[in-house]
């Protein structure tokens, strides 16, 4: 698995390596996102890239990075121009400071947005936060990934609010790579406590587990733009707000790549984000 991730990262770096545009031809805008198991993220952002290319009469290129952190790093290095991050990547980018700005965000219907939460669940015998706190030193915690929102930094913040330091207080902390895998690790007895997206847990409803904590709704991360003379971020923001009328396939493909976008049909101006990245233990 580690070798496969290394090869993926190397391939992504090669893909993003700058190559000189032919004489008289503009360098393409790179529209990029991050990989996720069983999701064709390149296909999910291709209509977006093509739409921006048509609106700007400018060549475009699609790229998929290994993780949200790698995506933000490439954006800062000038290797990506428009990014589709998750919330963790958005908060890492800190748009408004430096040369990164927020673009509009998919407008997720309220009922569906309410379902995008994180849960912390535990095996039989761990049926309360008090038991979790008392037994943490003997418990194996599994998360989705360091870059995950609902399976990473949001439940980690929940654990810290309970007075637990995840890396220091649990017997072990592992990353499963996906929400389904985190839940399966708990069901199979490879973990004692799991943090994952609430909709995945609710859909599976496995017997014998205890839900200990559920977060408030988690907002999606707005798109990001690298401000540069060759990247018209203001125009791109305006084009996104018109995408539902100009090319509905843009949002349809994004919904296929990100279930948390629900039945979103339009982009809206990004609201202020009430969350911040938690401090390390």
Residue partners of 6: CB distance under 8 A and separation at least 6: none
Q: What is the mean pLDDT of residues 72-89?
A: 96
Confidence at residue 7, expressed as pLDDT on a 0 to 100 scale: 42
200 closest CA partner among 219, 186, 189? 186
Contact 106, 267 (CB under 8 A): yes
Render pLDDT for 180-233 as a digit per residue (tens, 0 to 9).
999 999 999 999 999 999 999 999 989 999 999 999 999 999 999 999 999 999
User: Could you tell me the pLDDT band of residue 237, with boundaries at 50, 70 and 90?
Assistant: very high
Same domain, 6 and 103: yes
Q: Per the structure, how many domains does the chain have?
A: 2
| Token couple for 2 | 């580690």
- The angle at the Cα of 201, spanning 5 to 171, to the nearest 5 degrees, equals 60
Domain match, 95 and 139 both: no
* Closest alpha carbon to 243 in 75, 38, 84: 84
Angle between helices 233-241 and 41-56 (to 10 degrees): 110
Q: Give residue 194's region: left, alpha or beta (phi > 0; psi -120 to 50).
A: beta
172 and 44 within one domain? no
Report if residue 275 sits inside a domain. Answer: no
Is the domain of 12 the same as that of 100? Answer: yes
pLDDT at 74 over 50: yes
Q: 87-91, 138-142, 250-254: lowest mean pLDDT where?
A: 87-91
Average pLDDT rounded to a whole number, residues 243-260: 96
Query: Is 47 a domain residue?
Result: yes
Q: How far is CA 14 from CA 5, 35, 75, 216, in A?
A: 14, 16, 15, 39
Count CB atoms within 10 A of the CB of residue 165.
13
Determine the pLDDT at residue 24: 62
CATH code at 233? 3.40.190.10
- Per-residue pLDDT tens digits for 258-272: 988 999 999 999 988
Percent of the chain residues past pLDDT 90, beyond the cut: 80
- pLDDT tens figures, 106-116: 999 999 999 99
> With 50 as the cut, is the pLDDT of residue 95 above it?
yes
The angle subtended at Cα 263 by Cα 117 and Cα 85, nearest 5°, is 60
Residue with tokens 């199979």: 188
Q: Is residue 252 part of a domain?
A: yes
**Closest Cα to residue 261, out of 44, 64, 82?**
44
Query: What is d(CA 242, CA 188) in angstroms, rounded to the nearest whole number?
Result: 47
Q: What share of the chain is helix, strand, coil (3-state, %, to 5)?
A: 45, 20, 40
Give Cα 65 to chain centroid, integer Å: 12
Q: How long, in residues, is the chain?
A: 281
Phi, psi of 246 (to 5 degrees): -80, -40
User: What's the average model confidence in pLDDT over 250-254?
Assistant: 98
Q: Give the pLDDT of residue 51.
A: 98
User: Is there a domain that residue 54 lies in?
Assistant: yes
Which of 214, 235, 254 is where one domain is finished? 214
pTM: 0.83
Question: Look-up: residue for tokens 């989705």?
Answer: 144
Mean pLDDT over 59-81 rounds to 97
Q: Would you place residue 274 in the very low, low, confident or very high pLDDT band (cuts 50, 70, 90)?
A: low
Whether residue 138 sits in one domain with residue 89: no
Are residues 280 and 166 in contact, defined by beta-carbon separation less than 8 angstroms? no
Q: Tell me whether residue 279 is in a domain.
A: no
Joined tokens for residue 271: 């609201």
Q: Are residues 127 and 258 in the same domain?
A: no
How many angstroms separate the CA atoms of 248 and 213, rounded?
A: 37
* Over residues 133-150, mean pLDDT: 96
- Which residues are bridge partners to 33 per DSSP? 64, 84
d(CA 219, CA 114): 9
End-to-end CA distance of the chain: 27
pLDDT at 229: 96
What is residue 26's predicted lDDT score, i.e. its pLDDT?
A: 85
Residues 34 and 123 in one domain: no
Find the mean pLDDT for residues 162-170: 96
Domain span holding position 86: 2-109+220-268
pLDDT band at 16 (very low <50, low <70, confident <90, very high): low
Share of the chain above pLDDT 70, in %: 88
Q: Is the pLDDT of residue 281 over 60?
A: no
Contact 64, 34 (CB under 8 A): yes
Which has the minimum average pLDDT: 16-30, 133-147, 154-168? 16-30
């Amino acid at each position: 698995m580690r070798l496969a991730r290394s090869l993926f990262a190397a391939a992504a770096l090669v893909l993003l390596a700058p190559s000189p545009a032919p004489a008289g031809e503009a360098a393409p805008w790179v529209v990029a996102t991050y990989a996720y198991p069983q999701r064709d993220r390149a296909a999910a952002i291709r209509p977006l890239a093509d739409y921006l290319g048509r609106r700007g009469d400018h060549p475009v290129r699609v790229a998929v990075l290994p993780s949200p952190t790698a995506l933000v790093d490439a954006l800062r290095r000038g290797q990506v121009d428009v990014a589709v991050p998750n919330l963790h990547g958005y908060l890492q980018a800190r748009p408004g400071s430096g040369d990164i700005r927020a673009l509009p965000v998919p407008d997720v219907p309220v009922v569906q947005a309410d379902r995008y939460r994180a849960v912390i669940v535990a095996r039989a015998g761990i049926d309360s936060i008090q038991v979790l706190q008392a037994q943490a030193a003997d418990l194996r915690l599994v998360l989705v990934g360091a870059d995950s929102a609902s399976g990473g930094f949001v439940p980690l913040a929940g654990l810290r609010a309970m007075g637990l330091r995840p890396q220091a207080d649990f017997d072990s902390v592992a990353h499963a790579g996906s929400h389904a895998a985190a839940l399966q690790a708990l069901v199979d007895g490879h973990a004692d406590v799991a943090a994952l997206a609430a909709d995945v847990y609710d859909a599976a409803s496995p017997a014998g587990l205890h839900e200990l904590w559920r977060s408030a709704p988690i907002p999606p991360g707005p798109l990001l733009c690298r401000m540069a003379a060759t990247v018209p971020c203001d125009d791109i923001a305006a084009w996104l707000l018109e995408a539902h009328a100009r090319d509905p396939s843009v949002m349809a493909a994004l919904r296929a790549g990100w279930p948390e976008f629900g039945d979103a049909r339009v982009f809206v101006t990004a609201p202020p984000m009430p969350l911040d990245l938690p401090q390390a233990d």
